[in-house]
Structure 1
Amino acid sequence: MFLAMNRFKIARGHEETFVEHWRRRESYLGEVPGFVRFHLLKGPQTEAYTLFASHTEWESEQAFADWTQSEAFMKAHANAGKAPREIYLGPPELELFESIL
């Protein structure tokens, strides 16, 4: 199993805008071989931001790599920049994990 997470620092007061953007977004993940599941996670808050993470689970690292080169990936990210920029406190931080146990 392979996990990919993007962590987003969302300015306080803009959480619902961020979540609604993800609700309306078509991911096309169901079309991709090796995709297992997706979660959008809400994490801790500071005075400045709320942490969110998009979490995808894959059968293998190769399945994830193939997704990033696919037409489905391009379609899924075509509208990624449509959310207002001011809600983000910096770019997303990608973290990749290989399951070992």
Structure 2
Amino acid sequence: MYIAMNRFKVVIGSESAFEAVWKDRDSRLEQVPGFMEFRLLRGGTNVEEGYTLFSSHTVWSSEEDFLNWTRSENFRMAHRNAGDNKALYWGPPRFEGFSVVAGI
């Protein structure tokens, strides 16, 4: 199993707009071989630096399935309007990928 996460620093006051982008987008993940689960997580707010932390969290059968998705037309379609929302972000997202070694 493989977990792919992107961490986003969202400008304070833009949280609802950021959440709407994720809730309203057509990710097409359900059609992708190996996709298992998606979550959008909201963390704490760093008032001093001006952002609220979010993370997108997807679970895949394997890292290969995730990489195949990143090369697919479904991936391109799901991310086609990503640049339209740059004003919501406090810097670029940060990707982190993990192979699951234990779990319940």
Q: TM-score, normalised by structure 1?
A: 0.95
Residue 64 of structure 1 aligns with which residue? 66
Whole-Å separation in 1 of the counterparts to 2:2 and 2:37: 11
Aligned length: 100
Q: Letter of the aligned partner of 2:55 in structure 1?
A: A
% same residue: 49
Residue 88 of structure 1 aligns with which residue? 89
**Which structure 2 segments of 5+ residues have no match?**
none
Structure 1 stretches of 4+ with a deviation exceeding 6 A read none
Whole-Å separation in 2 of the counterparts to 1:42 and 1:11: 13
CA RMSD of aligned residues (A): 0.8
Q: Does the alignment pair 1:51 with 2:53?
A: yes
Alignment of 1:1-101 (within 5 A): 1-47=1-47, 48-83=50-85, 85-101=86-102
**Which structure 1 segments of 5+ residues have no match?**
none
Q: Letter of the aligned partner of 2:99 in structure 1?
A: E
Q: TM-score, normalised by structure 2?
A: 0.93
